[in-house]
Amino acid sequence: MSTRTDIRPSPIAGLWYEGEPRRLAKVVDAYLDQAQIPELEGEIVGVIAPHAGHRYSGAVAGYAFATVRGRSYPLVAVISPMHHPYFQPLLTSAHQAYATPLGVIPIAHDVVAALDQALKRRLGYGLSPVRNDAEHSLEIELPFLQRALSEPFMLLPVMVRALDPRVSQALGEALAEVLADRSALLVASTDLSHYYDQQTALSLDRAMLEQIEAFSPEGAFEVEAQEKGYACGLGAVTAVLWAARALGADRVRLLRHATSGDVTGDYSQVVGYAAAVILKTARV
């Protein structure tokens, strides 16, 4: 009888990030080393990180994951957008594990099942499992987690196709319900504005980041509806904010903001990237 693990095949290893294990570890470690993290007050509940190819956004992502370097979380919930045209609002992986060149990360299917049930109670539907997905925005964060965290971890993967505050709030509340008694880290995967000139991008990004820093998922949806700010992972990052709020977090601290132009030198059409940490500072 075969005991072979059903692993999601990676569509981006060797393309969006280094495919050779030693080279990947070296590159990710360098991003973590270069991050200059201020003193943080309180308990880290989650991080917000970009999801472009490591060449473009890896230096910014390093700031998010450097905050949890050397820490241990048995469970990590990575909430990302789904860029591909699935019709289901919320998706997860039907495989048993994800893999990067740094190793295999098993999916916590018991937690996936619990989240599915919690969502059905709130929305009438839950997570749709998919196989062989091509989504990059969840996977791109995994090598950072593998290098930053001190122990192996289980993964709760959720990809958000819906762009609806009701869905994101329900997902956030459901996440808080199933994670309340677990030692877990929330990871929100999002880039910011796309393909504007640098000055326009800075304005759009600032408007969105002001709402994120204000811990206002409601405001984040509002500024995007008003076309004053943009985040391609709006449904994912707001769900994480709602979840973190329900888990007692009370502060978001922006650590780094940059654009693709800062890497390429081309400021005519840029993509915005930010790193932030979500903290629980209040003493109970």
* Helices marked H in the chain: 21-34, 54-66, 109-123, 136-139, 142-148, 165-179, 198-213, 217-225, 234-246, 261-264
Q: Taking 50 as the threshold, does the pLDDT of residue 193 lie above it?
A: yes
Residue 274 falls inside a structural domain: yes
pTM over cut 0.75 = yes
Write out pLDDT tens, residues 20-69: 999 999 999 999 999 999 999 999 999 999 999 999 999 999 999 999 99
- Residue 96's Cα: distance from chain center in Å? 20
Residue 5: the pLDDT is 87
DSSP letter for each residue of 60-125: HHHHHHHTTTT---SEEEEEEE--S--S-SEEEE-SSEEEETTEEEEB-HHHHHHHHHHHHHHHS-
Residue 10 falls inside a structural domain: no
What CA–CA distances, in Å, run from 199 to 133, 170, 220, 223, 273?
Answer: 35, 35, 20, 18, 14
- Residue 191's Cα: distance from chain center in Å? 10
Selection from 26, 9, 16 nearest residue 52 by Cα: 16
Residue 254 falls inside a structural domain: yes
For residue 52, the SS3 value is: coil
Residue 120 falls inside a structural domain: yes
Residue 212 falls inside a structural domain: yes
Domain membership of residue 148 as a residue range: 30-35+45-280
What CA–CA distances, in Å, run from 123 to 149, 169, 170?
Answer: 33, 10, 7
Ramachandran angles phi, psi of 226, nearest 5°: -85, 0
Residue 165: the pLDDT is 98
Residue 2: the pLDDT is 45
Q: Taking 50 as the threshold, does the pLDDT of residue 1 lie above it?
A: no
Residue 284: the pLDDT is 55
Ramachandran angles phi, psi of 165, nearest 5°: -60, -30
Write out pLDDT tens, residues 227-283: 999 999 999 999 999 999 999 999 999 999 999 999 999 999 999 999 999 999 977
Residue 14 falls inside a structural domain: no
Report the CATH number at residue 166: 3.40.830.10
Mean pLDDT, the chain, whole residue set: 97
Residue 85 falls inside a structural domain: yes
Residue 177: the pLDDT is 98
How far apart CA 47 and CA 251 sit, in angstroms, is 11
Is the separation of the CB atoms in 211 and 219 below 8 Å?
Answer: yes
Residue 15 falls inside a structural domain: no
Binning pLDDT at 50, 70 and 90, where does residue 4 land? confident
Q: Looking at the 3D structure of the chain, how many domains does it have?
A: 1
Write out pLDDT tens, residues 63-95: 999 999 999 999 999 999 999 999 999 999 999
